[in-house]
A and B are shown apart, each in its own frame.
Chain A
Amino acid sequence: MPRSLKYALAVIAVLALLPLALVAKARVATSPRPRVHLIFDMDNQPKFKAQSANPLFADGRAMRLPVPGTVARGTLVPQEVATGRKGVQWLEVIPVPVDRQLLLRGQERYNIFCAPCHGYSGYGDGAVQRRAERLEEGTWTPVASFHTETARARPVGYIFNAITNGVRTMPPYGAQIPVEDRWAIVAYVKALQRSQWATLADVPKEVRPQLEVRMREHDGTR
């Protein structure tokens, strides 16, 4: 076989490895470049999906906001439930049925939306608060604790309104949390507050002995 042919074959064999190497690289590395897309089929259809862009509108959103002052069908709730007040008075009693289900829902939602700042037990020592302290942020206001005298005296309507519209420097959460969940959180905050000032008399009779043993083991007093 002539030399040149041998060389040519060798070069082809080596070049043939190149695509394989590129494929291997593409499989292990991440890339900010758009995905390789050979056959388009009907992958991108001329329709608008949730949160897609529409250049027809000035703000570029395909999803339109409801007209101010309107309520979407099926979302109308009584005024008191929606605002947490009756006339100008804060509600003192939660206007939805409170049961174990609601409290558990409230716990879950509290841990998602409030605990980052207020902390899991409500002392105002969440991860964001601690981070802000460490960063020595001048613009940050310390998070309120739920276990001060003033905080415990707050009516439920006040707490509901704090979630919906924010309070002083706390941001509003009305857009992120639906009304039912807000009341669930209020119920859970009330339960948290009670838990920190509870006496043995608050505990059902059946489980008291259990608790007494634990308490004696813990510090011997009470």
Chain B
Amino acid sequence: MSEHGRSRWVFPPWVNQLRVVAGVALVVIPVYLVVLVGFGASPRTTDVGYAPEQPVPYSHALHVGQLGLDCRYCHNTVEEAAKAAIPPTQTCMNCHARIRAASPKLLSVRESYATGMPIPWVRVHDLPDYVYFDHSAHVRRGVGCVSCHGRVDTMEVVQQVEPLSMGWCLDCHRNPDPHLRPPELVTSMDWVPPEKPEVYGRRLREQLGIRPSTDCGTCHR
């Protein structure tokens, strides 16, 4: 082999610096990956903030925030059933047969009313099908809509504000105190407890005998 060729197989002195680089990389890369996957794959990143475009530019900020409609005017099954029903077109037509009756924004509402075909609202919140969730169990015991859906009365477009992960459900089932309120005030968006939420909620919990279950069978049945 030639002189030149042999030197190709000898590490030059700067390679020693790579040991430092490799050492740093050995520490930084795992930390980096943990942070990236931990934050990147968390439902707070992938799910929270989902705000699909709806077929009608219906605004909760207008109807709830300004006109002061109660959630139950439209989502009228929320206290009795597992599902908070999305209102049928008839509910919109209660008012819109006469208010903004010619508005182009309401064209598909009128079309749906005339043809009987439902408005294809896009689901915002969607638990996996193997999870059992029940609105009435929460609303009747005094967990406010705002605890799980945020300030809907300020939303032009509904968005998901909570991760809806199992950890999130369990956090509250283990310690519901800060989220409890008198059951008749569940739809109030700006209610604040008269004293520290933990203290007030604890009193309510003891008074009403609220004990959210953490057994697997509660939510997986």
Q: Could you tell me the distance in whole angstroms from the C-beta of B74 to the nearest C-beta in chain A? A: 9
Q: B128 near A42 (CB under 8 angstroms)?
A: yes
- Residue from the list A20, A28, A31, A128 in contact with B50, Cβ < 8 A: A31
Q: B47 near A176 (CB under 8 angstroms)?
A: no
0 or 1 for each of B115-159: is its CB under 8 Å from A? (1 = yes): 011101000000011100000000000000000000000000101
Chain A contact residues: over half helix, strand or loop, or mixed?
A: loop
> Given contacts A30-B49, A49-B129, A61-B118, are A131 and B67 in contact (CB under 8 A)?
yes
Chain B contact residues: over half helix, strand or loop, or mixed?
A: loop
Q: Could you tell me the distance in whole angstroms from the C-beta of A141 to the nearest C-beta in chain B? A: 7
**Is A137 an interface residue when CB atoms closer than 8 A count as contact?**
yes
Q: B52 near A32 (CB under 8 angstroms)?
A: yes
Within 8 A of A (CB), among B80-110: 81-83, 85-86, 88, 90-91, 93-95, 97-101
Task: List the one stretch of B33-41, B171-179, B199-207, B209-217 in contact with chain A.
Answer: B33-41
**Is A88 an interface residue when CB atoms closer than 8 A count as contact?**
no
Q: Could you tell me the distance in whole angstroms from the C-beta of B168 to the nearest C-beta in chain A? A: 15
Closest residue of chain A to B117 (Cβ to Cβ) is A59
Chain B residues whose CB sits within 8 angstroms of the CB of A2 once the complex forms: 14
Within 8 A of B (CB), among A29-55: 29-32, 34-38, 41-45, 47, 49-51, 53
**Is B68 an interface residue when CB atoms closer than 8 A count as contact?**
yes
**Is A221 an interface residue when CB atoms closer than 8 A count as contact?**
no
Q: A19 near B94 (CB under 8 angstroms)?
A: no
A128 to B41, CA, bound (A): 44
> Given contacts A116-B69, A116-B73, are A51 and B83 in contact (CB under 8 A)?
yes
Q: Could you tell me the distance in whole angstroms from the C-beta of A53 to the nearest C-beta in chain B? A: 8
- Residue from the list A60, A61, A116 in contact with B68, Cβ < 8 A: A116
Chain B residues whose CB sits within 8 angstroms of the CB of A113 once the complex forms: 73
Q: Which of A116, A132, A135, A137 has the most CB of B within 10 A?
A: A116
Q: B83 near A175 (CB under 8 angstroms)?
A: no
Counting contact residues on chain B (CB < 8 A from A), the size range is 35 or more
**Is A111 an interface residue when CB atoms closer than 8 A count as contact?**
yes
Q: A176 near B129 (CB under 8 angstroms)?
A: no
Q: B41 near A38 (CB under 8 angstroms)?
A: yes
Chain B residues whose CB sits within 8 angstroms of the CB of A175 once the complex forms: 88, 90
Q: Lowest 6 A-B CB distances belong to which pairs?
A: A43-B128, A171-B94, A45-B129, A36-B46, A30-B49, A50-B83
- Listed in ascending order, the chain B residues whose CB lies under 8 Å from chain A are 14, 17-18, 21, 32, 35-36, 39-41, 44-53, 66-70, 72-73, 76, 81-83, 85-86, 88, 90-91, 93-95, 97-101, 116-118, 120, 128-130, 157, 159, 184
Q: A9-B21, A132-B99, A175-B88 are in contact. List 19 more A-B contacts (CB 8 A).
A: A1-B17, A2-B14, A19-B40, A20-B36, A26-B49, A30-B49, A37-B46, A41-B130, A42-B128, A43-B129, A44-B129, A50-B85, A59-B117, A116-B68, A127-B67, A128-B95, A131-B67, A140-B99, A177-B76
* A-B contacts, 5 listed (Cβ < 8 Å): A30-B51, A31-B49, A41-B128, A112-B72, A112-B73
